[in-house]
Structure 1
């Protein structure tokens, strides 16, 4: 799915960081993006909590999506 997500985002002209698993020091790896998209059915609860905590601290909008398909990501990007 990593490559599919990257391809969809590149076609739409978005620079992205994609995490399918929670890396060490994930809170530091997030940085200061324009938005965070969470596929809640795919990632761990701990990863979601960490991302939301950092988003609140840094005032970053969070978009949650239960469906993790590439077409769902494409639709989300269209809405932005």
Structure 2
């Protein structure tokens, strides 16, 4: 399973990836909006948006991409490790 995480804290990006790896999930983390953001998302199985630390422009890019692809999006108000672990445990196979 592949996951894209949008938002969160810059210093926590590698921690988010390590947590996803522990659940045997591939991940991409975007804490800042890169150029050509919508195309860099790719085709994940799930998009996780940390709404508290995500810009409106990034959220618009996620919305535009997921409307085209039909990828499920989960919004988390907290960008904490425990919130991410709780969400990933729901999708862990």
TM-score range, shorter chain: over 0.9
Instruction: Give a deviation string over 1:27-55, Cα, whole Å, max 9, x none.
Output: 11011110100000111011011101100
Instruction: Report how many residues are paired.
Output: 80
- Is the strand fraction higher in 1 or 2? 2
> Structure 1: any 5+ residue segments left out of the alignment?
none
> Structure 2: any 5+ residue segments left out of the alignment?
1-11
Moved over 4 A (4+): none
User: Counterpart of 2:29 in 1: which secondary structure?
Assistant: coil
CA RMSD of aligned residues (A): 0.6
Q: How many angstroms apart in 1 are the aligned matches of 2:14 and 2:27?
A: 12
TM-score (norm 2): 0.83
TM-score (norm 1): 0.96
